[in-house]
């Protein structure tokens, strides 16, 4: 199961955007994609590779936290 998509279905607040990096080289460069999967949340929190559900959720919550952490 891909967590981003399931979270999108679970919450009206969440949108999951899957991007095929080789077809969008400019976008991939802009987000400095060097390894995949690379996850970027609200252009604010990012990580590479798969994370277990609790850590993924934590990244989502950090991305919407009032002040940068």
- The contact set with another protein (CB under 8 A) reads 1-24, 27-28, 31, 33, 36-43, 53-54, 57, 60-61, 63-64
CB of 26 to another protein, least distance (A): 10
CB of 67 to another protein, least distance (A): 13
How many CA atoms within 13 Å lie on the side-chain side of 50?
5
How many CA atoms within 13 Å lie on the side-chain side of 48?
6
* Rounded Cα distance, 39 and 4, in Å: 9
CB of 69 to another protein, least distance (A): 15
Residue closer to another protein (CB basis): 43 or 69: 43
């Amino acid at each position: 199961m891909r967590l981003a998509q399931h979270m999108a279905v679970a919450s009206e607040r969440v949108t999951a955007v899957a991007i095929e990096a080789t077809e969008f080289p400019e976008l991939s460069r802009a987000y400095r994609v060097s390894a995949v999967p690379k996850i970027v949340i609200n252009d604010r929190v990012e990580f590479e590779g798969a994370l277990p559900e609790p850590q993924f959720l934590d990244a989502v919550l950090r991305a919407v936290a009032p002040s940068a952490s």
